[in-house]
Structure 1
Amino acid sequence: MSKSKRLMDLMMTVNRKKKFTVKELATEFNVSTRTILRDLQELSELGVPLYSEVGPHGGYQVLNERILPPIAFTEEEAVAIFFACHALRHYAYLPFETESSSALSKFYFYMSGDVRDRIDEMKNRIDFVIPSRQAKFPYLSILLDGAIRQKVIRIEYESREGVSARLIQPVGIYASSGLWYCPAYCFLREDIRLFRCDRIRSAAEDSSGTQPLDLRHLHLGNREALLPSEQEFASLYVELTEEGVHQCEAEYWSATKLHRREDGTGWLEGSLPKGDIPFLAQFFIGLGADATVQHPPELIDNIKRRLAEMMERYG
């Protein structure tokens, strides 16, 4: 086995094992312990986070941040990955903000000069614009970790009634129109609730001993399952012009309700939580003549009332 291949295999092995001894590696790779020590030194110089422990139960260990083995990308793949990360720069808050910036810098630094020149030319020719928000989202990483590891999170949440303490178990987080949202099981309400992350004033893993639920079957891909079970629902139907379809395509909540015709027009059809009527009334007023609500009547009445208030305000 060549030295370069052995180093590559050794990098993947230490990532997998996490803790090991020099003798174990020497036996596995059929080389001397002195050779393994030299290889480990080279891996450390390349950036693999190794540290040693002395004593009868000592050995080597890899720190939590694993180093992935080198991956060969084509020029087009490298440019695509760069701009996928570059698109996130408009988000002032990300669950992996520091890491994404570091990865982008490394990716750019190790590209060949001609590929860097191509990216520099493209930077001002392509963009991914989101609404500019003043809101802050400092707890995204805690919420995402809670969703992945099935943890109970204690938060302080600001709603119309004021700030209250809640125990929640996040299902995930998602961004929409420049804001971050977290669907989660609320132990206070004993049901799924949707939390706006900028209204979370504090968040930390709960230490009270509350047992997490098994929510592995819930995720952002099955949105209908995230609807609160205790809410009242109404039947929604809205006719849309082609522009109305385009506007609704940008809305996270409409994905399972939106239907398109061959001429570009379409319609929204599905169940509507009655608690969403005020939000949807405002949304459809914003669409103007590009949306015509046919039912539920409660939504139509809410739209009429808001329009009457606007007419009165403007004489």
Structure 2
Amino acid sequence: MAKSKRLMELMMAVNHKRKFTVKELSQEFGVSQRTILRDLQELSELGVPLYSEVGPHGGYRVLKERILPPIAFSEEEAVAIFFSIHALRHYSSLPFEADASSALRKFYHYMAQDTRERIDQMKSRVDFVSPARQAQSPYLSMLLDAAIQQQVLLIDYESSEKRSSREVQPIGIYTRNGLWYCLAYCFQSDDFRLFRCDRMVAVVASTVEPRDFRHVHLENRQAKGVIEQDAVALYAELTKEGVQMCEAEPWPVPKLHIRSDGTGWLEGSIPRCDLLFFAKFFISLGHVVTIKNSPELLDCIKRTLSELMAKYD
């Protein structure tokens, strides 16, 4: 096997292994241990983060920041990946913000000059707009890691009513309308809850024993049922003007339906923590919307209107 090919396969092999010895690699690649040592030295010089452990149970480890082997992208694939990362720039917080910026710089730097010129032209002609939010969510990486590793966190949470501390086991995080949310099991409530990530004032590791929620995640039925438990139903009739106004809004849920005559309705569920947001939004629509079969939302609208009237009474 040619040395260049062996180095490439060796890079892929060590990236897949958590721990390995020179003897194991020597047998796997059919070369001497001295050759493997030289190859590992070259990989280390190329940037593969290898860590050597001495002793009877020693060997080599690849540190957490693994280096991927070279991947050949077509120009169209590279442009698509560039703009996928470029689209994230509107978010005030990301769980991998520094890594996304670094990847973007690498993609741009190593592209051919004509490809960079094409991207420069495209950047001013295509965009992926999300609502601009001032709210910061600095703990996204911790929440995502805890969801993956099945860990419990102690959060200092500031809701619209009060500030409290609670142990939670994150299931996953997602973004909607420019805000980040964390679905988590709350040990104090003994139930699943949906938390706004920007309302987490502090997050630290907890000593509470985690539960086995490997079967619950954001894409399976169990997680969808959990989200629905912490949501309220919504049904709203819309005039033609109301449909036009709501079409300008991003509605992953609830869903906008349009009739042949131009009128329509909104139907679905909304997170309980977003009741005030939707109440204020529907108040701003005035007579073009009529809320039906949504008592909790109606109560929130009435309270909001009463508070406004009291302020200007």
Q: TM-score interval w.r.t. the shorter chain?
A: 0.7 to 0.9
Question: Given the superposition, is the C-alpha separation of residues 87 and 163 from structure 1 closer, same or farther in structure 2, using an over 3 Å criterion?
Answer: same
Aligned position for 1:284: 282
Q: Tell which deviates more after alignment, 237-246 or 179-188.
A: 237-246
Distance 2:304 2:161 in 1: 23
Distance 2:270 2:62 in 1: 50
Per-residue CA distance 1:184-236 (angstroms, 9 max, x = gap) = 221112222221112111101202xx23223334333356412475x796x53
Superposition deviation, residue 42 in structure 1:
2.1
* SS of 1:173 mapped into structure 2: strand
Aligned position for 2:213: 215
Per-residue CA distance 1:94-116 (angstroms, 9 max, x = gap) = 11111111111222222222211
* SS of 2:117 mapped into structure 1: helix
Aligned position for 1:85: 85
Question: Given the superposition, is the C-alpha separation of residues 45 and 287 from structure 1 closer, same or farther in structure 2, using an over 3 Å criterion?
Answer: farther
Is the contact between residue 245 and residue 264 of structure 1 (CA under 8 Å) also seen in structure 2? no
Distance 1:190 1:52 in 2: 44
Match for 2:138: what amino acid?
Answer: P
Is the contact between residue 245 and residue 266 of structure 1 (CA under 8 Å) also seen in structure 2? no
Distance 1:133 1:227 in 2: 23
Distance 2:297 2:257 in 1: 20
Match for 2:46: what amino acid?
Answer: L
Which residues of 2 match residues 1-315 of structure 1 at below 5 A? 1-207=1-207, 210-221=208-219, 222=221, 224-227=224-227, 229=229, 236-240=234-238, 241=240, 242-248=243-249, 250-254=250-254, 257-261=255-259, 266-270=264-268, 278-288=276-286, 290-296=288-294, 299-300=297-298, 303=301
Q: Tell which deviates more after alignment, 132-141 or 276-285.
A: 276-285
Distance 1:273 1:108 in 2: 39
Superposition deviation, residue 64 in structure 1:
1.3
Match for 1:243: what amino acid?
Answer: Q
Question: Given the superposition, is the C-alpha separation of residues 311 and 20 from structure 1 closer, same or farther in structure 2, using an over 3 Å criterion?
Answer: closer
Distance 1:273 1:95 in 2: 22
Q: Tell which deviates more after alignment, 176-185 or 135-144.
A: 176-185
Superposition deviation, residue 243 in structure 1:
2.2
Distance 2:194 2:123 in 1: 36
Distance 1:8 1:273 in 2: 49
Question: Given the superposition, is the C-alpha separation of residues 21 and 277 from structure 1 closer, same or farther in structure 2, using an over 3 Å criterion?
Answer: closer
Match for 1:74: what amino acid?
Answer: S
Is the contact between residue 173 and residue 180 of structure 2 (CA under 8 Å) also seen in structure 1? yes
Question: Given the superposition, is the C-alpha separation of residues 144 and 164 from structure 1 closer, same or farther in structure 2, using an over 3 Å criterion?
Answer: same
- In structure 2, list runs of 5 or more residues that go unmatched: none
Per-residue CA distance 1:213-269 (angstroms, 9 max, x = gap) = 23334333356412475x796x53223444245245x14442xx4445577764223
Distance 2:124 2:108 in 1: 16
Question: Given the superposition, is the C-alpha separation of residues 164 and 311 from structure 1 closer, same or farther in structure 2, using an over 3 Å criterion?
Answer: closer
Distance 1:179 1:224 in 2: 19
